[in-house]
Each structure stands twice: as C-alpha cells, then as structure tokens.
Structure 1
Amino acid sequence: MSLIQLESDPKKITGEELKPVLKKAGLELTESLIEDFSTLITGFEAAIHSLPDDREVQPRPNLEKYPRKDIHIPEDREFGAWATKVTAKCTAPKSNLLEGRTVALKDNIALAGVRCTNGTAMVEWVPEIDATIATRIMDAGATIIGKSACENACMEGISCTSVTGPVHNPYAQGYSAGGSSSGSGRLVATGSVDLAIGCDQGGSIRIPASSCGIVGLKPTWGLVPYTGILSLDPTIDHAGPMARTVRDCALLLEAIAGPDGWDDRQPPVELQGYQLEFVRDVDAVTRLPRDRMLEGMKVGILLEGFQVPGTDKNIVASVRSAAAQLSELGATVSSISVPAHLEATPAWMILVPAASPGSLLGERNGRKQLHFPDRCELVGQKLTQAQFDALGPGASYMYLAYLWAEEHYGPKLHARCMNLLKAVGDGYDLALKDVDVLITPTLISPPVQLPENGYSGGPLELMSMTTGVLANTSPLNITGHPALSLPVGFSHAREDPNVKLPVGMQIIGRRFRDIDCLKVAAAWEKAFDWKTL
C-alpha cells in the first residue's frame, strides 16, 4: 500500500480519536505508532471528502423518456399480490418486442420514485435509479404496472411473511403461492399482468411458478443483469421471467438478457457471440410435427431429484409421467444419476447465512457492480433491535446463523463450502455431456396451507412447514445452470385431499443453453394440457 498524497489537514485526526478504534479491534500500539497512523488516517479522511458525487454515474432515468405516474398503494391488493401500483412506460421504445404487454416487477427491483420494500419493514427506501431490466422492459414497449409483493427480505418459501400481507394461491385461497416471488406468481396466474420478473437465490422464481401453475425460468447465472436489484449474494443471484406460457417466458427473456456493463455476475467472455434470441427457436420447435418436435434431444431423469426425503408420491407420479411423455415428441428419455445433487442443499444452507451481512446491510466489498450507498446509510453498520424484529423467520434465522458461524468458525466455513460447491457443478456438467437436459420435480410437496396467525407462531413452526422445499431448486443457484419450472398436472393438498394444487416439472440445462430448457418445455406444453392431467 502506498500513499497518493499526504495531507496536512488542519482537521487532523488525533491519537485520542484513533484509540477507541484500536481498542474495539483489540490492538495496542505505541504512542509513536499512533501518531504516525493518525497522520495517515487524516490523509484517508481527506481522500474520502474529495470523492465526487457517485449519483452522477448511477443509471438515473430520464423521466421525460420513461415517465411514471399514479404511484399508489392499492386498496385491492389481489389477495396480497400487489405491493405498489404505478404506470411506467417509454415514450420512444427501441423495439415492439413486448408492445402492449403489462409487467410486474418483484419488490426488490429498483424503479425510481417507487418504494422498494424488499418485503420487509426493516428499512424504508425509495430508489432514485431504475434497474437495467426495468429499462429494457420499457424499451421493448411494455408497461410496468406495479411492484409485486415478495416475502420478507426475500428469504421465505411460503407466502405469509411479506410486510404487505399474505399472498394466496390462485388455485386455493388460504394456501401458499410460494416464495419469495409470491406476488409475481399469483399476478401472472390470475391474468392481472401478462408477465412478471422474479428473482431467485434458492428457488424464488421456480417455487412460486410451480405453486401457481405458471412457467418460471431461473436463467443461467450472468445471462440477465442483476443491476439495480437488491442482492442476497452475488454468487447465487438470478433474475428471470415468469409467464403463463413458455413462449411468453422466452419473449421476456429475450428483452432482458445480455451484458449491461455494470454487473460483474455477467462473464463477457462467455456471452460473446452467444445468441440472445429465444422466441425464434421456440416457435421453430412448436411448428414441427408432434413426434418430431424434440427429435435428437436427449432427456435425463435425474434419479436423486426423486429421492429427497418427504417427496410426495403424487408429485413423483405426475412428473415421471410428464417426463416419459417427452419420448412421444421425439426425445430419447433415460435415467441418470448425479450423487452430488443430494449433497448440495446442506452446503447452500451454510453458504447463505455467510452472505447475510451483504443482503441485510448492503455490504458488497470486492464486487464490480452498482451499489446503493443511500440504502446502506439507512440500514447502518449492523442491525438494530427494531430492524431485527422487522425481519421474517427466515431472514432473522439467517442473520443469527451468520453471527454464530462468525463467532465459532470464522471465514473458513464459507471457504470450505465454496470449494465443495464446485464439485456439485462438475457433477451436473458431467451428466449434461450425455444428455441435453435433466428432469426433476420442482417441489417435493404441494403448497402448504397458510398459517392463520401469519408467522407470529415463531420461526421453528413456520420453517418446519417447508422442510425440503429447496432440495431440487437451490443446487442450481449454486452452480448457475438454467432451470425452468413447467406446470404438468395437479396434486392433492396434504391438509385437504379435496384441494388440488399445481405440480411443476423442473427442466435443467447446460450453462448458457437456456434455449434447450425452453424448447423442451414448449414442446411438452404444445402437446399436452396440464390442467386435464
């Protein structure tokens, strides 16, 4: 480390000001060293005060080109699905790709001038910037009509923890719509919007897609920019499309995919020359004769995906039947094993608490991406009691697990997990050399009944209700492979056999071969009616 300049500032940091910092860190220095470091820290302070205003380089929207109006909290929240309503569109779109379509943004996505709750009352934040994907959606001719409710701090798989209230399943009031993109799932399913954006760190696009009977794609890590979206951890952050049909899912993906110059999740070497058009290939598949739509495609039924403890037998039967039907469309279907699939979730459960300071406090050291210093200032350097109390069970557990791990294990625990998780990705890559896509159930059990008392019964009660819900989804966040949930039938609710709830089949592809997931899903969707199965 060298100095750019040495300031002789009249507001010199004194040794007495430095000593409390040293004491808190458990350090003892001689008076001579304290004097030297006081001078050096004075230069550090001077450099801080010389920084220009970073707002000048932020992607602040041109509000004449991208006007927004009628910002309000609606009285009718569509059974909890809406957080905030708005009308935002571009006056001069770059294309008509999404012309006439309405879109909801998950409420952890920045849209300037519109509150961004992240599903929690922990902090009140109104961003001044637009997320890249929000701009791209408007540039494609769509109208953003609101922010969809999301679960508290985006850390729940059951839809009863959002600060804006519980979100009900579109097929059965009183049942979960899934999480954390709960509002997006319901709004698309009910036709309240044409399309929606979800964000996914452990399954938060695919869980509500499966629960609500819609199509949801977690794209390849880095395909869609995460710029302007509240992060859980950059290594597992994904934003993607949610729609009623596979074609609409491909359409929205086409509008939002590609590097934006901000997000270091996006590897430019991987994306150079990568075809960012998806609808054309989806249309080409569905125009073929039924028995040739998937000709030449190899589909692997991932055995471990059906072996998760607690897997519902009706879901197994539904997904196996749907996978077998792919052979009628020209695909070769076989069984395949990836032992690491069952080992991934415990490592994910350790990795995510290690990311809690970043997701809750906004710490993103070492990342080249858009940061939110205004929100960091609102949150502070650690959670206050009031902020902690505003968290849902999942987020508060994650924060305490982080504190425990930090105290007892330090950074080595996170380091071990990151090393082990490389082997998980290698396992999928090896399997995907022999097949084009892998198949699992999206969820191992049907959506649960919403608790009457919300989440006031305590974290253990609520989190026990969704044991295993991430088993087939979270491994793909770790590895970055694309994964799509497609509705393929119904299963009986565990609490009431007279209640029927959607079942999702997960289609996993090679990295940056999202189109394979879309083609397989589009072919099955064209050939079969999931609502009659």
Structure 2
Amino acid sequence: MALPEHESGSIRVTGEALKPVLDKAGLKLTDQLIEDFSVLLTGFEATVNSLPDDAAVQPRPDLEKYPRTDIHIPEDNDLGGWATKVTAKCTAPKNNLLEGRTVALKDNVALAGVRCTNGTAMVEWVPKVDATIATRIMDAGATITGKSVTGPVHNPYAKGYSAGGSSSGSGRLVATGSVDLAIGCDQGGSIRIPAASCGIVGLKPTWGLVPYTGILGLDATIDHAGPMAKTVRDCALLLEVIAGPDGWDDRQPPVELGGYQLDFVDDVDAVTALPKNTMLSGLKVGLLSEGFQIPGQDQHVVESVRSAAMKLAELGATVSSVSVPKHLEAPVAWACSIPASSPQGALLGNRHGRKQLDFSDRCELVSQKLTQAQFDALGPGASYMYLVYLWAQEHHGPKIYSKCINLLKAVGDAYDLALKNVDVLITPTLPDPPIRLPEAGYSQGPLNFMGKTLMLLANTSPFNCTGHPALSLPVGFSPAQDDPNVKLPVGMQIIGRKFRDVDCLKVAAAWEKAFDWKTM
C-alpha cells in the first residue's frame, strides 16, 4: 500500500495512498472526489501532527512522594500468586486507615515503573501512570508489595486445584497471608470467583462506585475494581479507601455521590456489636430460587449455601424465597455481548465512546488487528474472545451487542423489582467447588478451559451487566468433585441494591461474627 508523501515535515495524502483504503472499504469514487478527499485528508494529517503530547495532562505520579523500589520478578511466586514484586508507599499519607497494611494489585492495575502484563505476553508494557485506586491505597498508609497473577494459580487449601480467576493471584495471596489485602477486577465474576475458591471475602462494588481509572479493562459497561480480604471488616475498610469519584472516570458523576455513603466500616462495626439474635433485625433476605437451579450444579455447594443463608434467621433477619426468572437469561446475553464488542478496547486499545484515562503509549504497541505473535501469546479466554469478535464482526455486525444490551436492561429491572421487597438476594457464588488445574496448562487447548465457563459464571456475570453490588463470603467446605477427601471452600453470594454495598457488608459481617465457616 502506498503511504502518504512527506514534504518538509508535513504529510501529503495522495490519491495513490487513498485508493487502497477505499478498495478495502468497498468504495468507488471518481477521480475528482479522490482528489478532493486527498486534499482534505492532507489537512487532517496536518491537524493530527499539530496535537501536543498528552503526557502533560496525564496523572503522572510524584515519585518522590510515592517512591517504589525493589521491582523484580520473584523466583518464589507463591505457587503462581505473584507476577511482580515491588515496594511502593507514600512518604506523607493523607490518613492512616491502612497504616501498616500490605496490598497486592491485580496485574491489570497500572503502577508507574512496574510492568503490567494483564495476564498475557501479548505486549510488553510498563505504565507511566498510577491507577487512582493505587494512589488512594498509598495515601491511606498502606504499602503496595506487588502485582498478582491472573491465570492458573494453585488453591491455598489444596495444591493442584484452581484458585479461581481471573483475580487468581489476589485470592491466593490474601488467603495465604502473603498480603493483608488485595485488589481484584471483575467483569464476569473475577473478584467473587477467586474469593469463593480461596475462602476469603471479595466484593464487586456497585458499578461506578470505585473509579476504574488507570486499569486495563474488558468493557466499560461491566468493568469493576474492588476489595479482597480475609474479613468483612477489612473488605469494608479497603472499599472505604478506594471508593468515590476521581474526575476521570465517566462512570462516576462529577459531584459527590449525594445520598450514598462512602464510609462503610462504622456500619459494619455497629452490626457486629449487637447481640447475635438482633444483628439483622428487620432485614429481609431473599434466596434467589434460580441461583440454586443452575444445570449440573454441585449439590454439596447448594446445600452448604442454603444452610448458611437460613442461619441468617438466627440473627434476626426474615428469610424467604424470591424468583427472578430472567436471572437464567443474563449469562447467555453476557456471553454473546462481551466477545462481540469488547476486544476493540480490551485487546486493540480502541476504547472510544467513554470519557476516561486512555493509555496512548500502550496503543502504540497494538494495531487494528493482532499479529500472529500477539495472538499466540494470549491465553485461551482472550484468544477465544478475539476469534468470536472477528467472526461476529464478519457475520453479525453490531446487532448482537445492541440486542444483548437491551435484554440486559430488562434483567436489571427484574432484580430492582425483587429488591423492592427484600434488602439482599442470596445465591451460591459458584455452582461447583474449584476444579483441578490441568497438568499441561494452556497447552491442552481452549476447549478444555472454556467448556464450563458459561455455567461457572451463571450466578456472577449477571451482576456485572446490571451493576448491582455482589459480595462472596466463605460459608463452608465442599468435597472436590474428583476426590471426596479434598475439601475446598464454598462461597455464598450476597447481592444488594445499587449503591447499597453497605447492606451486603452488614449481612456478611453479621454471619461472619456469628458463625465459623471452617466448621460448617
């Protein structure tokens, strides 16, 4: 293909350069039109060339105030937990909410000077910015000690079994005590799934409560970042630190979230200070019937969660069954909508249509399509998503995404209607206990990894699409499906009204205070 001609530092677009573009688009223009558009495009190129460097307007960190040292890839990665180690902290924190605490960031969260792999070797990228939540964590007195792996990681309760994903490393590192707290990111369950698998607490906040600025995402409509911790109180504490608008993320209103609280710990403490049988007095809990009816669901998991949910009545809550038939439709719409559109932003860096911080330096590392080497570096989930995207663009166009977005609005409305009659909904987080990690890893091919994905996400992905807060709380153990002698954690999912994350936390904190999940 002929390239635009360069004259005295400027670019002149010729008809010879324009014709291949027209051919690829299936357009035919007269010679006169080609000449006219060539002149106009020459002006466009001159305008592009006149743009100033955007580095000056990016939120570059003050490395004297927020120094980071000892950046390295550890030889001992805690059975897959660590991607990169670092010591990053603030020399003059704004508060002491997290003083003395250590925190791991999922490896799609930008921390300037530290490689950001996003779980793939597709590109080698070291960001120059800090994610908003990374700055807030350091401003609260915590030390960021590394980036956690996204991918196959060993379960902390049984080596050889999955720690869940994709915030796998964050789940394991918290469970093993390698860090006090961690950040996970969730587009279909990726905070709650590893939390359930690893026996910790993980909250996918209300969509827009926590800024996603400086974080590699999948699709802005479903991207969530949130806290992972051993206890509900610590989960509430980390949420308190990272929540609130930052002026960059257009998912957040440009003013304070009027009417919605951004402090959570006091309410958690108030609930747990009450006598056991009054901790949840007046609260209405709905067992979401369809969440216990996932095809092929493990009955040990079902009974464990049902038993745990019924114990909320001992704490003063009213527990009843609630039906939302559209709950079973949501995972299908999620599965169709995401790969049909998301790779534009997630893999190709084309995150148009949003007002947010974009990684212009990373965009230079990818093009309008992946190279063979970039595709080969993807894991099974990302490679599947990219191929579905190519297929859908060729055979369906934008209709799938549009149709799914409309259907998912109706799903969200159905949850809102149910939540008018109850304060929270309950489901199992996962339909099954964690599976055994394949010995051959990704080399066994994508079918081996993707075969059970839709069912795995059946109870988690709907709330990414609707934006409701959802928390996973460990409530017991279940035998592994391939070995009854192996016991693995079970998570109970608590779903609340939008921006009522505190209700999820209060219910979880009361249950955690009253019962010992490890003896259930």
TM bucket (normalised to shorter chain) is over 0.9
Aligned mates of 1:99, 1:461 — CA distance in 2: 43
> Which amino acid is 1:274 matched to?
Y
Aligned mates of 1:11, 1:402 — CA distance in 2: 33
**2:366 is the counterpart of 1:379:** yes
Tell me which residue corresponds to 1:154: none
Q: Secondary structure at the match of 2:485?
A: coil
TM-score by length of 1: 0.95
Displacement of 1:245 in angstroms is 0.1
Displacement of 1:466 in angstroms is 4.6
Tell me which residue corresponds to 1:4: none
Tell me which residue corresponds to 1:75: 75
**2:408 is the counterpart of 1:416:** no
Q: Secondary structure at the match of 1:340?
A: helix
**2:400 is the counterpart of 1:404:** no
Aligned mates of 1:11, 1:380 — CA distance in 2: 20
Aligned mates of 1:466, 1:453 — CA distance in 2: 19
Task: State the Cα deviation string for residues 139-165 of structure 1 (Å, max 9, x = none).
Answer: 0000000000012xxxxxxxx2xxxxx
Displacement of 1:9 in angstroms is 9.6
TM-score by length of 2: 0.97
Displacement of 1:169 in angstroms is 0.2
Give every structure 1 segment of 4 or more consecutive aligned residues whose post-TM-superposition deviation is greater than 6 Å: none
> Is the 2:301–2:432 contact (alpha carbons within 8 Å) kept by the matching residues of 1?
yes
> Which amino acid is 2:431 matched to?
I
- Show the 5 A alignment for 1:249-328: 249-268=235-254, 271-328=257-314
Tell me which residue corresponds to 1:186: 172
Tell me which residue corresponds to 1:110: 110
Aligned mates of 2:385, 2:287 — CA distance in 1: 33
Aligned mates of 1:340, 1:309 — CA distance in 2: 15
Mind listing any 5+ residue stretches in structure 2 that lack a counterpart? Answer: 1-7
Aligned mates of 1:297, 1:270 — CA distance in 2: 28
Aligned mates of 2:317, 2:263 — CA distance in 1: 23
Tell me which residue corresponds to 2:356: 369
Mean CA deviation greater in 348-357 or 94-103: 348-357
Tell me which residue corresponds to 2:5: none
Tell me which residue corresponds to 2:487: 500
Displacement of 1:464 in angstroms is 2.3
> Is the 2:11–2:45 contact (alpha carbons within 8 Å) kept by the matching residues of 1?
no
Tell me which residue corresponds to 1:44: 44
Displacement of 1:467 in angstroms is 5.3
Q: Secondary structure at the match of 1:197?
A: strand
Task: State the Cα deviation string for residues 73-112 of structure 1 (Å, max 9, x = none).
Answer: 1111001100000000000000001000000000000000
**Counterpart pick for 1:177 among 156, 163, 179:** 163
Displacement of 1:366 in angstroms is 1.1
CA RMSD of aligned residues (A): 1.2
Aligned mates of 1:142, 1:410 — CA distance in 2: 46
- Show the 5 A alignment for 1:444-459: 444-459=431-446
> Is the 2:332–2:454 contact (alpha carbons within 8 Å) kept by the matching residues of 1?
no
Tell me which residue corresponds to 1:64: 64
**Counterpart pick for 2:504 among 517, 530, 533:** 517
Aligned mates of 1:96, 1:361 — CA distance in 2: 39
Tell me which residue corresponds to 1:217: 203
Aligned mates of 1:280, 1:12 — CA distance in 2: 64
Cα 1:447–1:9 shift into 2, 3 Å: closer
Aligned mates of 1:251, 1:317 — CA distance in 2: 31
> Which amino acid is 2:469 matched to?
P
Cα 1:11–1:489 shift into 2, 3 Å: closer
Cα 1:149–1:44 shift into 2, 3 Å: same
> Which amino acid is 2:128 matched to?
E
- Show the 5 A alignment for 1:8-19: 11-19=11-19
Displacement of 1:268 in angstroms is 4.3
Displacement of 1:393 in angstroms is 1.1
Size of the aligned set, in residue pairs, is 512
Aligned mates of 1:295, 1:80 — CA distance in 2: 43
Tell me which residue corresponds to 1:481: 468
Tell me which residue corresponds to 1:134: 134
Aligned mates of 1:9, 1:29 — CA distance in 2: 29
> Is the 1:448–1:465 contact (alpha carbons within 8 Å) kept by the matching residues of 2?
no
Q: Secondary structure at the match of 1:98?
A: coil
> Which amino acid is 2:252 matched to?
Q
Tell me which residue corresponds to 2:27: 27
Displacement of 1:12 in angstroms is 2.8
Task: State the Cα deviation string for residues 223-247 of structure 1 (Å, max 9, x = none).
Answer: 0000000010000000000000000
> Is the 2:73–2:83 contact (alpha carbons within 8 Å) kept by the matching residues of 1?
yes
> Is the 1:206–1:218 contact (alpha carbons within 8 Å) kept by the matching residues of 2?
yes
> Is the 1:9–1:42 contact (alpha carbons within 8 Å) kept by the matching residues of 2?
no
Mean CA deviation greater in 409-418 or 471-480: 409-418
Aligned mates of 2:10, 2:311 — CA distance in 1: 78
Q: Secondary structure at the match of 2:285?
A: strand
Mean CA deviation greater in 349-358 or 58-67: 349-358
Displacement of 1:310 in angstroms is 1.0
